[in-house]
Structure 1
Amino acid sequence: MNKFKLNSKYKAVVIGGSAGSFQGIVKILSNLPPNFPLPIIMCLHRLKHVRNGFVEALSLKSIVEVTEPFDKENIKKGKIYLAPANYHMSVELGHYFSLSTEEMINNSRPAIDITLGTAAYVYRDKLVGILLSGANKDGGLGMKYIKDRGGITIVQEPSECMIDTMPRAAMNATNIDHVLKIDQIVQFLKELHKHYIS
């Protein structure tokens, strides 16, 4: 895994996904080290009228409990956050979340571009951005923002995706650092973890 130029400067991981990403998310979360030191901020497209069950399903598989943040909730190390159904979730200076019900972007609320873009603004070169399988172009612009601000960008290998529109949109928008299969993304996060405990 020496192709990863890692260090301990990173302060957060942000993950976007849509159609076909659930199994990948489950595999990532179920293989995290139990004391993974960074907050993981997830924005996944989901049915807006189904508010129960999704978080619980992820928490059952995840090493760390998955929670939906409240508006103005502070972002803490070692926590996993999921954008609530039918709310845009932004990361704000001061390291807290803000939720809004503004109009959809890319026919989506939550919009991955908003979460990734605002996280890039706050964390700059200390952010890891990961974009998984999905059926629209949401997240492509957000990954460009992460790259432009010095963060590291990863997309799921399109050939592994159930629907590859989303990672390909990111690859068209910017020069992605790593194109990886889910197992490799898991290994990347484990390697990143080693830099914090070594």
Structure 2
Amino acid sequence: MEKANDIILIGGSAGSYTLIIDMIEALPEVFSPAIIIVIHRNPKFTTKIEDTLSARLKKKIVQAEDKATILKGEIYFAAPGYHLLIEPDKTFSLDLSERVRFSRPSIDVLFETAAEVYLDHCTAFLLSGANQDGTDGVKQLQQMGSKVIVQSPTEALISTMPRHAIEANGHVEIYSNRQIISYFRNLK
């Protein structure tokens, strides 16, 4: 398997799960970028989100593991209870440091570390959520030349997260749910 030269990040919280499923479902059979997803999950509850989605969507979906190489065309979820970081050698690192904006895993942590490594070979989507996680990460991604797409707050089930990122970061691309799904459907 080949290391991913391009990545797509997806950050979501409350209200984002259904759209994330639609995004993965829209993917073509073969695509090049690695897709890395942070969704706020409570580590106290065992979930089999990766196994459930793999079976339902007929795509290989795994939990990111510490020191694992980020591979082309793979779909990863951040483990509940750990921050997910991208290392300079394009591997994952799991971290138990303090929560960021009440969250671990934090969208900001993933976005900020990915921006430093992947620069303009990174596209990030920030979706529905009830806190402000992702806002600082969006700023870092923009500064490093990454493309940032924020879900339209009018279509987000909970608009706090996308609305705050838009207000705090000035120019970001705002996509409707239909545009987001179309992006994934046309991925190569």
Q: Deviations over 1:77-127 (max 9, x none)?
A: 000010001010000101000001111111110011000110111001111
Q: Which residue of 1 aligns with 2:173?
A: 178
Q: Which residue of 1 aligns with 2:116?
A: 121
Q: Which residue of 2 aligns with 1:107?
A: 102
Q: Which residue of 1 aligns with 2:26?
A: 31
- One-letter code of the match for 2:101? N
Between stretches 49-58 and 33-42, larger displacement belongs to 49-58
Q: Which residue of 1 aligns with 2:65?
A: 70
Distance 1:103 1:124 in 2: 26
Contact 1:26 1:61 in 2 (8 A): no
Distance 1:114 1:65 in 2: 24
Q: Which residue of 2 aligns with 1:6?
A: none
Q: Which residue of 2 aligns with 1:7?
A: none
Say yes or no: does 1:54 pair with 2:43: no
Q: CA deviation at 1:58?
A: 2.5
Q: Which residue of 1 aligns with 2:90?
A: 95
Q: CA deviation at 1:56?
A: 2.3
> Would you identify which runs of 4 or more consecutive aligned residues in structure 1 move more than 4 Å?
none
Alpha-carbon distance change, 24 to 176 in structure 1, aligned in 2, over 3 angstroms: farther
- One-letter code of the match for 1:105? V
Distance 1:130 1:63 in 2: 23
Q: Which residue of 2 aligns with 1:160?
A: 155
Q: Which residue of 2 aligns with 1:3?
A: none
Q: Secondary structure at the match of 1:158?
A: coil
Structure 2 gap ranges (5+):
none
Distance 1:58 1:183 in 2: 21
Q: CA deviation at 1:59?
A: 2.1
- TM-score, normalised with respect to structure 1: 0.88
Q: Secondary structure at the match of 1:159?
A: coil
Between stretches 177-186 and 27-36, larger displacement belongs to 177-186
Contact 1:116 1:146 in 2 (8 A): yes
Percent sequence identity is 38
- One-letter code of the match for 1:11? D
Q: Deviations over 1:120-146 (max 9, x none)?
A: 110011110100000000001111111
Q: Which residue of 2 aligns with 1:16?
A: 11
- TM-score, normalised with respect to structure 2: 0.93
- One-letter code of the match for 1:180? Y
Q: CA deviation at 1:182?
A: 2.0
Alpha-carbon distance change, 191 to 175 in structure 1, aligned in 2, over 3 angstroms: farther
Between stretches 167-176 and 111-120, larger displacement belongs to 167-176
Q: Which residue of 1 aligns with 2:79?
A: 84
Structure 1 gap ranges (5+):
1-9, 194-198
Q: Which residue of 1 aligns with 2:184?
A: 189
Contact 2:151 2:177 in 1 (8 A): yes
Q: Secondary structure at the match of 2:8?
A: strand
Q: Which residue of 1 aligns with 2:129?
A: 134
